[in-house]
Amino acid sequence: MTFIQEPYVHRTIALNFEDGVTRFVVCLPGDTIADAAYRHGVNIPLDCRDGACGTCKSICESGTFEMTGYVEEALSTSEAAEGYILTCQTRPLSDCLIRIPSSSVACNAADNTVRKARISRLEMLSASTIGLELEGPEIETLHFLAGQYANLYVPGTNEVRAYSFSSRVSHGKVNFLIRNVPNGKMSAALSGIAKVGDEIRYRAPFGSFYLRKVEHPLLMIAGGTGLAPFLAMLEQMANASASVPIHLLYGVTREDDVVGLDWLDEFKKRLPTFDYTVTVVDTAVDGRHKGVVTDYLKQSHFHDGRADLYLCGPPPMVTAVEQYIRDQGMTPASMHFEKFLPST
């Protein structure tokens, strides 16, 4: 049996480290994942390179591969069934996402390169949300996992703020949803100083909150600008014609905080199995579901425990949802969450 089905196809491998740093490497025909990583200067922990020690044991979260030539002591049959691999013996048959149980620093994978882009769109989507679009040659070659974030430099300073990508890269452009925080340095810069055409610096990608292999029904819960990573995830699933049931609960405090409904409606057209519910805490609002997201969280959203849960929003909201599903005995197949706290 040959290692590579298409001998001249290069495979892109995303290596996500335990500290949230992601590096993308290219596997050449016949490469193991460890080979590709080392060629890119990333030192995945290794001792033997023969599939005998288990030092390079990692988890393949998506993609197909062939793995041969290892011993049971290094990787058991049950571990292999759970998605564990030995990077020194694994040759990808498709693009893959690999979770490495080591820090990027330990693997010489930390990328502190500061890149540049231009502001191509800047608008107030609501009183509480700024829409930011960046473009440029370095954006065209930017790779990230849907759900991850970038560290953007506040224009004119060396201070950074973390924001999730709200789109995939398309035609050399990428988008963000920025919360308009009173007295916030980034908010003040984007709403009163920066303009289209200005340069902005960034480092990316970061984060362990990203879309895993889509095999089960999905339940997404967003609070405020926590909607951003879900827009990128939905775009990826729409491009892949995902067919699993997908439901998004999107909660905000006031009606003026609601953004992105046009995008969500477009995803409903592209993803027939997708639907969403918007909740507004302000009880004076008419025409919306009133209350918090847990008021509209149902057992049926969990599909008898088969659904994967993704949760992103302010810490109090994330904590409240976690507590609620425990109290109600709601059990997802897996749960991934990210908490964010605006900086002033």
What CATH number has the domain bearing residue 301?
3.40.50.80
Same domain, 94 and 122: no
2 lies in some domain: no
107 lies in some domain: no
Same domain, 17 and 83: yes
Running DSSP on this structure, what letter comes out for residue 257?
G
Same domain, 39 and 94: yes
Question: What pLDDT is attached to residue 1?
Answer: 30
Instruction: Assess contact for 230 and 336: CB atoms under 8 A.
Output: no
Beta bridge partners of 54: none
- Look at residues 155, 185, 206 and tell me which one is the last residue of a structural domain: 206
Same domain, 306 and 222: yes
Same domain, 325 and 256: yes
105 lies in some domain: no
**Cis preceding-peptide flag for 205 (omega within 30 of 0):** yes
CA atoms of 154 and 45, how far apart (whole Å): 36
In 288-328, beta strands by DSSP E: 289-290, 308-313
- Look at residues 184, 206, 228 and tell me which one is the last residue of a structural domain: 206
Q: Print the domain residue range for 130.
A: 115-206
Same domain, 183 and 121: yes
Same domain, 144 and 59: no
Predicted TM-score (pTM) of this structure: 0.90
Same domain, 224 and 327: yes
Same domain, 37 and 148: no
- Look at residues 172, 206, 240 and tell me which one is the last residue of a structural domain: 206
Number of structural domains, the chain?
3
Same domain, 68 and 166: no
288 lies in some domain: yes
Written as tens digits, the pLDDT of the chain (344 aa) is 333 344 457 899 999 999 999 999 999 999 999 999 999 999 999 988 899 999 999 999 999 999 998 999 999 999 999 999 999 999 999 999 999 999 999 999 988 899 999 999 999 999 899 999 999 999 999 999 999 999 999 999 999 999 999 999 999 999 999 999 988 999 999 998 999 999 999 999 999 999 999 999 999 999 999 999 999 999 999 999 999 999 999 999 998 899 999 999 999 999 999 999 999 998 776 667 899 999 999 999 999 999 999 999 999 999 999 999 999 999 999 999 999 876 65
193 lies in some domain: yes
Same domain, 200 and 242: no
Same domain, 134 and 87: no
Q: What is the CATH number of the domain that holds 72?
A: 3.10.20.30
Closest to 144 measured CA to CA, from 185, 202, 94:
202
191 lies in some domain: yes
Question: What pLDDT is attached to residue 4?
Answer: 39
Helix or strand (DSSP H, E) at 320: helix 315-327
Residues with Cβ within 8 Å of 78's Cβ and at least 6 positions away in sequence, in order, are none
Beta bridge partners of 151: 162, 203
320 lies in some domain: yes
307 lies in some domain: yes
Residues with Cβ within 8 Å of 327's Cβ and at least 6 positions away in sequence, in order, are none
Closest to 7 measured CA to CA, from 27, 33, 35:
27
Q: What is the CATH number of the domain that holds 154?
A: 2.40.30.10
